[in-house]
Amino acid sequence: MNKPSALELAAAVRAGQRSAVEVVEEHLDAIEAGDGAIHAFNLITADEARQQALSVDRMVAEGRDPGLLAGVPVALKDNLCTRGIPTTCSSRILEGWRPPYDATVVTRLRAAGAVMVGKTNMDEFAMGSSTETSATGATRNPHDVSRVPGGSSGGSAAAVAAGFVPLALGSDTGGSIRQPAALCGVVGMKPTYGTVSRYGLIAFASSLDQIGPFATTVADAALLFDVIGGHDPADSTSLMRPTPRVLSVLGDGVEGLRVGVLDEYMDGADPDVVARVRQAEAALVAAGATIEEVSVPEVRLGLSAYYLIAPGEASSNLARYDGVRYGLRVDAEDTAGMNLRTRSAGFGPEVKRRIMLGTYVLSAGYMDAYYNQALRVRTRIIEGFDRAYRRFDILLGPTTPTTAFPLGEKTGDPLTMYLSDVCTIPTNLAGHPAISVPFGDGDGGLPVGVQLLGPALSEGTLMMAAAVVEAAAPPSPPVLAPVSEPEGLR
């Protein structure tokens, strides 16, 4: 599978060697041929994509530079607002709503010449780890359509894995980029909180949400991160300092890099997954890094704290879906009745579960025991990581404890489902960056992801190390879905 990378495509389009229109048509054809089996997309915006591609070609013809992502097809998770284009969060409650504005990341993609081909499926309001809570139906894993792609950004991960697009954006609140990236065998990165604007990202848990890239290569992920990152005055939590420009430092190597292998993450993972992490560890050593085991016991508390903080914030963020202003409305005798019926009909069971949980943990008499206690735990997790980062530059571990699980296996047991994010959640609580790099396969030929974690704003270091891991990775297992092969570089 030697599909051109985003970097190659953009270079070819900018040089006038390929037309953006031709590139987008190939990818639209691939989506049409293959997405019936995968359901990566909620919506394909072919007309808009062709328009964007045309304008890129026009710029090239006029001798102007269309930007770093010239003509590169990109898929957007369906919780990113797109002006005039339905944005649903895979929920019935947003039925019919067309945002009157673009998310900041969408504006930046446009400015960089990217061609946006559609909105990808996700767990409803990003609440889930398998993309099965979507109101539009589950997305399938392109490596085995009987298995989940992970979640909540399962559609974006599957779209990249299936070759529908070289790049996609997802959002990561507790692992929603890295976990599906691992399960689908692609690169997925969760940036430092505040490096990518959240303006136009429909909020799940505001203090944890962060937008990040999916790609087939580390370099492509770095490219996309460089385009979407940077301060945005429309997001008050956006960092004022310049975003690390990571693409340019990718080749710097890991000589002397101090890498800690995180005991707590290794302990809970399946042996086939652990074996791949050990192999990645060896690759880093071979490239000149030093490796040591490290324990950060606080991360064991991450899952519990997360399931108090995230639902607490979500219960407030999702209050606005009340039938008054947009989306679904189910009429009733009075306003309160209308609110109730609208929300009862519009939200799925997992979203309702989290709203109820979140409302409970914030209510008078329980707040201190639950929500405030979780905030104290969050502080301890940050302290635990800080301690580790005094001795190590980055940490290494599995992204997920297991490979992709069968559809339906965990939907009946929310707690088991929540456990599949046990290795990704602490990073969100700390606001740190982390990246999942595909590293061969595990039992049954399913992809395994290796996770690299770093302190705030260490994206450059993480990407350098990820590039070393990527170079040493065994070949990815094949994608089984019927995907038409886009033409290679001419």
Provide the annotated active-site residues: 77, 152, 176
Closer to other proteins by CB, 325 or 390: give it: 325
Exactly one of 265, 347, 370, 371 binds other proteins (CB under 8 A); which one?
371
Among 145-153, 217-225, 251-259, 358-366, which window interacts with other proteins (CB under 8 A)? Answer: 358-366
Rounded to a whole number of angstroms, the minimum distance from the CB of residue 371 to other proteins is: 7
Contact 392, 258 (CB under 8 A): yes
Closer to other proteins by CB, 255 or 333: give it: 333
Is 335 a residue that touches other proteins (CB under 8 A)? yes
Rounded to a whole number of angstroms, the minimum distance from the CB of residue 292 to other proteins is: 35
Among 20-28, 73-81, 152-160, 217-225, which window interacts with other proteins (CB under 8 A)? Answer: 73-81
Please give the Cα distance from 119 to 313 (Å, whole number). Answer: 25
Q: What is the DSSP string of 131-189?
A: S-S-TT-PPPBTTBTTB---SSSHHHHHHHHTTS-SEEEEE-SSSTTHHHHHHHTSEEE
Rounded to a whole number of angstroms, the minimum distance from the CB of residue 326 to other proteins is: 7
- 30 alpha-carbon distance from chain centroid: 22
Closer to other proteins by CB, 62 or 331: give it: 331
Closer to other proteins by CB, 2 or 236: give it: 236
Is 415 a residue that touches other proteins (CB under 8 A)? no
Is 324 a residue that touches other proteins (CB under 8 A)? yes
Q: What is the DSSP string of 272-310?
A: HHHHHHHHHHHHHHHTT-EEEEE--GGGGGHHHHHHHHH
Please give the Cα distance from 274 to 63 (Å, whole number). Answer: 51
Q: Which residues contact 231 (CB under 8 A, 6 or more apart)?
A: 197, 238, 239, 240, 241, 242, 243
- Tell me how crowded residue 54 is: count the other CB atoms within 10 A of its CB: 15
Is 409 a residue that touches other proteins (CB under 8 A)? no
Is 331 a residue that touches other proteins (CB under 8 A)? no
- 293 alpha-carbon distance from chain centroid: 28
Q: What is the DSSP string of 61-115?
A: HTT----TTTT-EEEEETTB-BTTB---TT-GGGTT---SS--HHHHHHHHTT-E
Among 94-102, 181-189, 258-266, 421-429, which window interacts with other proteins (CB under 8 A)? Answer: 94-102
Please give the Cα distance from 489 to 8 (Å, whole number). Answer: 8
Is 129 a residue that touches other proteins (CB under 8 A)? no
Is 51 a residue that touches other proteins (CB under 8 A)? no
Is 363 a residue that touches other proteins (CB under 8 A)? yes
Is 315 a residue that touches other proteins (CB under 8 A)? yes
Is 81 a residue that touches other proteins (CB under 8 A)? yes
Among 48-56, 203-211, 426-434, 447-455, which window interacts with other proteins (CB under 8 A)? Answer: 203-211
483 φ, ψ (degrees, to nearest 5): -120, 130
Spell out a b/e string for 259-291, using b for 16 or more CB atoms within 10 Å of the CB, else e: bbbbebbbebbeebbbebbebbbebbeebebeb
Among 15-23, 205-213, 218-226, 419-427, which window interacts with other proteins (CB under 8 A)? Answer: 205-213
Rounded to a whole number of angstroms, the minimum distance from the CB of residue 81 to other proteins is: 4
Closer to other proteins by CB, 91 or 130: give it: 91
Rounded to a whole number of angstroms, the minimum distance from the CB of residue 80 to other proteins is: 8
Tokens coding 296: 């950060």
Token pair 């990202």 is found at 201
Is 336 a residue that touches other proteins (CB under 8 A)? yes
Q: Which residues contact 446 (CB under 8 A, 6 or more apart)?
A: 141, 143, 144, 147, 183, 403, 404, 477
Exactly one of 319, 356, 471, 489 binds other proteins (CB under 8 A); which one?
319
Exactly one of 6, 56, 74, 103 binds other proteins (CB under 8 A); which one?
103
> In 409-458, where does DSSP find H-type helix?
414-419, 425-430
Tell me the helices (H) and strands (E) count for the chain, helix number first. Answer: 16, 11
- Which stretch of DSSP H or E encloses residue 314? helix 302-317
Closer to other proteins by CB, 8 or 322: give it: 322
Q: Which residues contact 143 (CB under 8 A, 6 or more apart)?
A: 161, 184, 185, 404, 445, 446, 447, 477, 478, 479, 480
Is 94 a residue that touches other proteins (CB under 8 A)? yes
Contact 388, 395 (CB under 8 A): yes
User: What residues from 211 to 270 belong to the interface with other proteins (CB under 8 A)?
Assistant: 233-237
Is 89 a residue that touches other proteins (CB under 8 A)? yes
Is 199 a residue that touches other proteins (CB under 8 A)? yes
Each residue 264-303 as x (binds other proteins by CB under 8 A) or -, in order, gives ----------------------------------------
Is 95 a residue that touches other proteins (CB under 8 A)? no
Rounded to a whole number of angstroms, the minimum distance from the CB of residue 116 to other proteins is: 16
Exactly one of 362, 456, 457, 465 binds other proteins (CB under 8 A); which one?
362
Exactly one of 326, 332, 409, 472 binds other proteins (CB under 8 A); which one?
326
Q: Which residues bind other proteins (CB under 8 A)?
A: 79-81, 87, 89, 94, 97, 99-101, 103, 198-203, 205-207, 233-237, 312-313, 315-316, 319-320, 322, 324-326, 335-336, 339, 359, 362-364, 367, 371
